[in-house]
Structure 1
């Protein structure tokens, strides 16, 4: 997670798991034999309903009596104070800015009064039809009283039947664990991710009406080898004053406060954790300040007869997310690995997410909200969604999200995207990240998407932007009220008297831009010699916790930094002064915030990160000094802090020039810039971030049914109705139903098993089986014509071939097809301008395909082409334009799948003397809805129900 918080520690990554097959969904319509059932279910996307065809094969066998199957650490990281969660309500409200006019939600200005604004997000959500419409209406929400207390979640959204509980899932729990055999656990606040942990603390406090539960991995457990005299700590106790944090690399070793002998800690393979140890830990974590914390024990699948856990190679759970996902998310080329390693890492990643899902479901009750955080848990939403279809899931990604050109480099890209899409709403730090995610879903998975969300598997998954904040009150307290903080600030200023201080604090990894910062500072001293001996750069680097970065940080980056620091100090320093002061270690909060207060310029040169909270903390600490903030445009914070001075860290000369400009700013300019930054940071806190995310999630849940759009097919009931029926009518689509959707239409060939299943169904004299397709007669004759008992309809009903008949009937024989020439010219115009598109000429209909084209450009061209057709051809001819899956088709208005389905029902009644008492329609997109609609022409005594 790309957040550095007030505990002055590096970010802690998270892990994820699970390979999911796509959630099945093309639709199916079913009318029961007892005239009591009408069913529409979605069966599959990538499965292309082959599974459904296997099911109809079972139906065929059922007719022969085959058996029926059955169904911050804000504050001192050494201090952990447990708090019980007594709940009250808190004041909060939504942003009130009008961006668009709405014909229903109108602003009337009468006597200076605004009227007809929706009073709440729930009111605004009534009647919305799309994610984009919801976002637009939410922008009109106004609070009648800015300080009105927030209502209980159960009262604000009664239709959701909320329990008032939030289950947050993060990769690691907020504590680093040390185990001493036979004693209680020693807990220490986990460095990094403090903004997220502050959010958990807020949700568990009396400031909200929520009850908070957190699940997370224990992290790598350290074993204490010595001494017997040590005392374990509980969540309510502080660690001994002289406790030395375990160092993550040799450059980060802190100076001991107490030189007396300390216990030694180490990560040991095969650490034994007894059942009693686990019970003791859960008891210690039950009433923490983060709510109830439930640790997850990551182990192999094997069961140990003594009920002990033996933790080996604990770092393995980080490898796939931090060696494979982390580089791609940060726009880095992945290093090549042998296939075996990647397969093993992926298996661990899948197991990790499954274990998280199991742990969540152990405590879940209907009406709970599950809030999942970061890329280590990409697969978790999909796993939980498969287990509980109607569960409420929010997901937030704290890291950047790359363009599809990087994401497609992952071998498991579809599994990862499919897993995330199990959430009801997905949050990102910036709009560009959300846009990239939507683009990936379109380009890699083929789903329709826009800035408001993705339509996936029949459900709408909302996408929104929520820039994270910090705990401003905690930072203020640490920076201004902590005992002795003023003396530390004065000491720093005295030490660098007469010099301007530039401060930087980054993690020691390749995406933080520390080397770019040093090179830019060197360029600054070269270009502006008047500032030599007058400016000092104090750079603090925390050790990285990201698995992929550790070796590179230890070797390459550390070596580069040491060389640059030595070069700059050698060229521009003296015996009494070094222009670069580099501290490669964790700083205690007092030192860190004192540096932020004493600084004259904050300099952040990240080449890619999610949300670097150092910039936010710097703004809060500069309330007196008004120091300017220089911020990389590639930081996730840049979009929020628009008043900061933005730079391109790769432009070394440009950064040097900006440093000079910042040093020359007048007090008035500094104050004007800082006032805007300070206003934003202090109003967009971690509490407002938590409230905004949850309110938007609840509004989306109230507006859209984002569980599976239609239920899974009840096979036993379907087979039961099949057996009861005397006359059955089957109507199947072809592409995407009997065969997969492919880029080359000629490659959509049915499998032998599908052909055998269709033939078996059609051979039953009680069954009338039809294929209603947009394909032409030649194609259907080639692949389906040999089944004489099968009825065929080509070009969406323009041509029909009855069972046991080789002749095709042209239903458009008397229609004028003079429109084809005009349509063909328009299609050719767009084909020449859309790479990868092509025209399919049928006897009556014309189809323009753009499946092989760039998805976004193809969709844009299709929209333009449709407008062109509507403004020309459709005004002169009785034709219609049908938008299919990556295609446009023009055909006569009086012919469609619905009309041919109606005709087949009438023909069945005429031939059999009665209506069919069992109708099954299979299709994969909305063009097949006409077949479903024809079912309603059957006798009104049929009831509609959901299986």
Structure 2
């Protein structure tokens, strides 16, 4: 059925709407809202209230560098691109969908002081059939519109035409394959960029596993295309990026992009917002590329979600799949803090209200009312996806007619389904069969209970339909933001039609005064339909007023303002403008080359070898042993491994390099180069505390499956890396409180939080003391080159000691991990493999310089 032809035969059609078109900071993270308020002066607060909460880029309250520009990375540009092969001209017509997002960007650009740039894929480029039909009867061209054949000149004309129209505010990404200066692909070939996000990620996010019968080659090809798609955005953004730009990345097509940008632009201010639900960790862990996807997202400084449940699932997944700790309202990613925020998206409420109240739409609404006079009208609108719950809504209506016979012939259900790019023919048939069954059972020649329209509605028809409804029905079985529900609320101003909203919708937390239903419970949903029809006028008005006030106060303009404000707050709170630079290899190698006495001090786990789940498996690779041997054999070098490991482990794996110096248990024991005896630095210390600590650790081990105790001579460690991450962290906090209340008040020990472990050690023992001891051995002639590297909190003691020494000419303190990691180190290196590569380059300097000196 065609809704326009059925309801508005005498109305002219119009084009669809263009507008659819660590330490201290981490401790305070849970109070970041209070902390941010202390930064914000009253003048800025007033400005925020007057301007949807957004601050002017010229009046930022923090000492944060800002370019006054925001770059938005979106799945596509707001326009579809059409090519006319007859004259080589390009046309750009508004794209359906994403109207709220594009409206927020447009508002930010036009109504605030921020300059915006939107980076997006062109989408599938198609032949302009509409233009060809209007100008000629070239049937050959019309019959071959499935393939677009373009030259390099056509691409240049495209870029020129687009730039003239949109003045560089929109940066289109061209994804057509280039072969001999020609671009030729079918629509299906151009759509390959959609395969991985739409056939793997989108179902997964909605608790549906993808088709696992797909052969491995095809799945790998789809993943390769997904990576290439994200890299194309990286290249486009790098070209236009200026220092201190804000970059905001949107949705599941671009999950790898934050990390790609972070690697290329380590100082970038990055925000990411997921417009889809995020599933539980049990569902997400089925994804073969789960780690790559999560690490891609965690390249951002802040990640936003539509609802609290989605953010909770994401944090839980990161702890379970990646082993990262959750801290406050964020995640500790190898020492870098990634903020997690709940930011419900709205709609352009003022525009919807204004456009839905026009005389033309009023006339169409009256026409619908007259067409169904003396009938109650139920309205449903959704995309033709299973997750949108169309079948569940129809079954609930069928049950309603069965249970409440008084409403038969008195209620009609108008269900609109919007077509999508995917093949949904089987699902469409299920819907048609169910509608036929309902109409056959409860309908007659004079009355049809269900009216189904499978088409895109024009804006005025859509608003007229929403205004006509007596009850709105949203029965999605899983979705994030549901704009139809928000638009229904605005359009019902004055009519007060109740809204039935699925409890599985991401909007349900916001619309608390809607009648919430479980779409899987068909019988109860039917009862709720009856309840909505019988509700008193006073209650309808009270519910509608609360819903309307929420939607009108929480618009898409408020959303984008809150997003930028939260991002800036987190950037300022965690000092993201003070990024630890990647080590300057030229400076390092020059200093190494000139030095005659060199001291190297390395942590072991996470610095020279990757972190593993079981500490026993962190054995040194052959590459590492070769690098350490070559470095230590140089007579100008002293090389020390300063580790939390015990003597047995270090001796077992590193004794084969006698020139190495070893320090075990964070400095409790030392073994000097070319010796076999360990020096005990704790023999005069009181270790009577160990018995009590062991009992406490035993208590928690018995109650935490997968945890275990590591007893060294001087320290005790409780590991929970193999335990359930959430429960393990909970037990660790309990254990730490237990230790601090019973042990630290009675003994000279300290409790250290490591990576999925708790360690108790003598208070006076730490890696910083080892550094002081090693430097004292040089006496008056200190080393003229010192290199210290580590990834853990315990390694910060080494860095602090070196920074305080005034007798050192040249030293390098290097943390292993992200550039935005909270550290006192001067430099950073990404990971153990990069550490080995750097040392290999120094070894090559040794062979070319030291041997000839």
- Distance between the aligned counterparts of 2:276 and 2:654, measured in 1? 51
Corresponding residue of 1:330: 206
Equivalent position to 1:842, from 702, 708, 712: 712
Matched, 1:762 2:632: yes
- Distance between the aligned counterparts of 2:700 and 2:127, measured in 1? 68
- Distance between the aligned counterparts of 1:287 and 1:390, measured in 2? 32
Matched, 1:513 2:389: yes
C-alpha displacement of 1:165: 2.6
Corresponding residue of 1:740: 610
Equivalent position to 2:84, from 169, 180, 183: 180
C-alpha displacement of 1:129: 6.6
- Distance between the aligned counterparts of 2:746 and 2:62, measured in 1? 52
- Distance between the aligned counterparts of 2:166 and 2:675, measured in 1? 77
Equivalent position to 2:249, from 359, 372, 375: 372
Matched, 1:417 2:294: yes
Given the superposition, is the C-alpha separation of residues 749 and 323 from structure 1 closer, same or farther in structure 2, using an over 3 Å criterion? same
The residue correspondences of 1:108-257 to structure 2 (distance < 5 A) are 130-138=28-36, 143-144=45-46, 148=50, 152-156=56-60, 159-181=63-85, 182-205=87-110, 207-224=111-128, 230=134
Corresponding residue of 1:469: 346
Q: Match of 1:314, SS?
A: helix
Is the CA contact (8 Å cut-off) linking 1:357 and 1:384 kept in structure 2? yes
Q: 1:609-662: CA deviations, max 9, x gaps?
A: 111100011001111110111101111111111111111111111111111111
The residue correspondences of 1:193-592 to structure 2 (distance < 5 A) are 193-205=98-110, 207-224=111-128, 230=134, 268=145, 270-286=147-163, 292-300=169-177, 303-305=178-180, 307-312=181-186, 313-336=189-212, 337-450=214-327, 452-481=329-358, 483-545=359-421, 550-551=422-423, 553-555=424-426, 557-592=427-462
Unaligned runs of 5+ in 2: 5-12, 813-825, 828-853
- Distance between the aligned counterparts of 1:908 and 1:480, measured in 2? 84
- Distance between the aligned counterparts of 1:413 and 1:590, measured in 2? 43
- Distance between the aligned counterparts of 1:148 and 1:564, measured in 2? 51
Equivalent position to 1:629, from 490, 499, 516: 499
Give the TM-score, by structure 1 length: 0.79
Is the CA contact (8 Å cut-off) linking 2:603 and 2:643 kept in structure 1? yes
Q: 1:84-118: CA deviations, max 9, x gaps?
A: xxxxxxxxxxxxxxxxxxxxxxxxxxxxxxxxxxx
Matched, 1:921 2:788: yes
Given the superposition, is the C-alpha separation of residues 786 and 414 from structure 1 closer, same or farther in structure 2, using an over 3 Å criterion? same
Given the superposition, is the C-alpha separation of residues 327 and 425 from structure 1 closer, same or farther in structure 2, using an over 3 Å criterion? same
Is the CA contact (8 Å cut-off) linking 1:223 and 1:268 kept in structure 2? yes
More helix by share: 2
Q: 1:696-749: CA deviations, max 9, x gaps?
A: 223333333437942212222212111222212222222222222112211111
- Distance between the aligned counterparts of 2:48 and 2:696, measured in 1? 55
Is the CA contact (8 Å cut-off) linking 2:55 and 2:565 kept in structure 1? no
- Distance between the aligned counterparts of 1:292 and 1:702, measured in 2? 28
C-alpha displacement of 1:189: 1.5
Given the superposition, is the C-alpha separation of residues 226 and 815 from structure 1 closer, same or farther in structure 2, using an over 3 Å criterion? closer
Corresponding residue of 1:22: none
- Distance between the aligned counterparts of 2:721 and 2:279, measured in 1? 23
- Distance between the aligned counterparts of 1:688 and 1:372, measured in 2? 18
- Distance between the aligned counterparts of 1:728 and 1:756, measured in 2? 19
- Distance between the aligned counterparts of 1:924 and 1:133, measured in 2? 27
Given the superposition, is the C-alpha separation of residues 852 and 132 from structure 1 closer, same or farther in structure 2, using an over 3 Å criterion? same
Q: Match of 1:511, SS?
A: helix
Is the CA contact (8 Å cut-off) linking 1:282 and 1:294 kept in structure 2? no
Given the superposition, is the C-alpha separation of residues 81 and 538 from structure 1 closer, same or farther in structure 2, using an over 3 Å criterion? closer
C-alpha displacement of 1:944: 8.0
Aligned length: 791
Larger relative contact order, structure 1 or 2 (CA cutoff 8 Å, min sep 6): 1
Give the TM-score, by structure 2 length: 0.87
Unaligned runs of 5+ in 1: 1-6, 8-74, 84-125, 233-259
Q: Match of 1:876, SS?
A: coil
Q: 1:822-845: CA deviations, max 9, x gaps?
A: 111111110011010011122222
- Distance between the aligned counterparts of 1:171 and 1:145, measured in 2? 32
Does 859-868 or 810-819 show the bigger shift? 810-819
Equivalent position to 1:930, from 778, 794, 797: 797
Given the superposition, is the C-alpha separation of residues 931 and 361 from structure 1 closer, same or farther in structure 2, using an over 3 Å criterion? closer
